[in-house]
Amino acid sequence: MTDQQHITDYPHELAGHCGSGALRDLLHWAGLSYESTPLDEGTIFGLGGALGFTYLRHPAMTPPIYLVGRGPDLTVDFTRRLGITATHDTTDDPDEGWAWVRDELDQGYPVLCWADIAELPYLRVRLSMSRHDIVIVGYNDDSHTATVVDNDRPDPQHVPYDALARARASTGFPTPTRHTTYRLRYPTQLPPLADVTADACHAAARALRDPEPMFDSITHGTPGLVEGHGVDGVATFVDDLSRWPELFSSDQLDTTLFALAAFIEKAGTGGGLFRRLQADYLSYLARRTQLSTARQAADTYTRLARLWSDLAAIATSKTDALTRIHTIHAAARHLPALEQRAADDLQILARDLTAGDTNGADPG
């Protein structure tokens, strides 16, 4: 058995989100693009059709709120749309899970895996998040380390085998990691861009307009839980903001506001609760197709990203917590209508892409 392996010249840049950043690098490594240059992260995120919205509040959670602006199936949907064969393996046996990784690397393939951020030593965080995407590009039995590429670090990280095993065996939030491993096999060329983008825009619009609960198996029937999904969930969130001053003490309110800002800007969202990545994708489509509906959607998502980022800035400003929450609630009242408009823009764009209405431009 080989005692070390490393994929040389693996391309990597920092990214706003772990999933779209990993898929961007993997597509670049495979030499696949719709352009003469690699696709950017926003375009990768948009092609996944992964936009969404979920809000949870429950006193047993720490912090007592959870906010996310995407759905759970970016990797599965992205690979399906782009004709990439993805074998998704899970196990509770660490030896089996590690054997999958070694086998892929020995065949010359980088390996996309889940890992809990709390167990990755280079991240130095306490918060558990078990569905963090990493790419493993090497191993060395002499030093007992694996070489890990992470969206949050500019350079590959050498992670001890035991720490990586813990990260891949986590039972933390939102789901057990179970040594999740993706074996990816790439096509010689990508499918037509118009087909991929129409399906991706339709999927994102559907997730916002007619959402399926993201954590239903975990949260269903939980007493005292406030829960909202999709555009209607945004309205639930905004309405619930008015209750925070009576639900939380001053210190708790301060902590919750900082958590809110982190969920919007810092928790691997690419900024603006993933709306900035979506705006980048739609701007790419507007340039590529010359569709006015693509430009309209890009403009709407740019406004949405800015509004979400404004909320995060208010949440971490130097005023007292009560002033901050009242200011946030006043600004957030514009969110439900703008989120609805954005979802509608996506659906209209999906229709135009399906119809091939590109005003003579090349849709790919």
| Residue 62 backbone phi and psi in degrees, to 5 | -130, 110
CA-to-CA separations, 208 to 25, 51, 62, 306, in angstroms, rounded: 27, 8, 26, 19
Tokens 């659906």 identify what position?
Answer: 347
> Token pair of 141, please?
């039995």
Tokens 């901050």 identify what position?
Answer: 324
Residue at 58 is within a domain: no
Q: What is the per-residue pLDDT for 360?
A: 43
Q: What is the per-residue pLDDT for 127?
A: 79
Shared domain for 338 and 197, answered yes or no, is yes
| Number of domains within the chain | 2
Q: pLDDT band for position 2 (50/70/90)?
A: low
pLDDT digits (tens, 9 = 90+) for 70-119: 998 999 999 999 999 999 999 999 999 999 999 999 999 999 999 999 99
CA-to-CA separations, 125 to 122, 129, 223, in angstroms, rounded: 9, 10, 30
Q: What is the per-residue pLDDT for 216?
A: 58
Shared domain for 120 and 16, answered yes or no, is yes
| DSSP state for residue 117 in the 8-state scheme | G
Shared domain for 95 and 173, answered yes or no, is yes
Q: What is the per-residue pLDDT for 125?
A: 81
Q: What is the per-residue pLDDT for 34?
A: 96
> Token pair of 300, please?
């709407």
- Residues 346 and 337: their CA atoms lie apart, in Å, by 14
Shared domain for 239 and 333, answered yes or no, is yes
Instruction: Identify any residues that bridge with 135 across adjacent strands, giving them in sequence order.
Output: 112, 149
Q: Which of 155, 185, 215 is the last residue of a domain?
A: 185
Residue at 66 is within a domain: no
Q: Which of 133, 162, 185 is the last residue of a domain?
A: 185
Shared domain for 273 and 224, answered yes or no, is yes
Residue 213 reports pLDDT greater than 70: yes
Residue at 170 is within a domain: yes
Residue 364 reports pLDDT greater than 70: no
Instruction: Tell me the percentage of the chain whose pLDDT exceeds 90.
Output: 87
What is the arithmetic mean of pLDDT over 17-26? Answer: 97
pLDDT digits (tens, 9 = 90+) for 134-164: 999 999 999 999 999 999 999 999 999 999 9
- Residues 308 and 328: their CA atoms lie apart, in Å, by 10
Q: Which of 156, 185, 214 is the last residue of a domain?
A: 185
Residue at 364 is within a domain: no
Q: What is the per-residue pLDDT for 118?
A: 92
| Residue 149 backbone phi and psi in degrees, to 5 | -105, 130
Q: What is the per-residue pLDDT for 227?
A: 94
- Residues 142 and 152: their CA atoms lie apart, in Å, by 27
CATH number at residue 162: 3.90.70.30
Residue at 312 is within a domain: yes
Chain-centroid distance of CA 47 in Å reads 12
Shared domain for 148 and 242, answered yes or no, is no
pLDDT digits (tens, 9 = 90+) for 287-333: 999 999 999 999 999 999 999 999 999 999 999 999 999 999 999 99
Average pLDDT, the chain: 94
Residue at 37 is within a domain: no
Shared domain for 180 and 218, answered yes or no, is no
Residue span of the structural domain in which 224 resides: 193-355
Shared domain for 175 and 198, answered yes or no, is no
Residues 6+ apart with CB under 8 A from 281: 42, 43, 45, 46, 47
What is the arithmetic mean of pLDDT over 246-256? Answer: 95
- Residues 298 and 277: their CA atoms lie apart, in Å, by 10
pLDDT digits (tens, 9 = 90+) for 256-288: 999 999 999 988 899 999 999 999 999 999 999
Amino acid at 106: D
Please check whether residue 58 is in contact with residue 225, taking contact to mean a CB–CB distance below 8 angstroms: yes
What is the arithmetic mean of pLDDT over 117-132? Answer: 89
pTM: 0.93
Residue at 49 is within a domain: no
Shared domain for 173 and 198, answered yes or no, is no
SS3 content of the chain, % helix, strand, coil (to 5): 50, 15, 35
Where helices occur in the chain by DSSP H, the ranges are 18-29, 41-47, 74-81, 94-106, 161-168, 193-209, 216-219, 230-241, 244-247, 250-261, 275-289, 292-315, 321-332, 335-355
Shared domain for 18 and 149, answered yes or no, is yes
> Token pair of 46, please?
């948009």
Shared domain for 225 and 120, answered yes or no, is no
Q: What is the per-residue pLDDT for 358?
A: 53
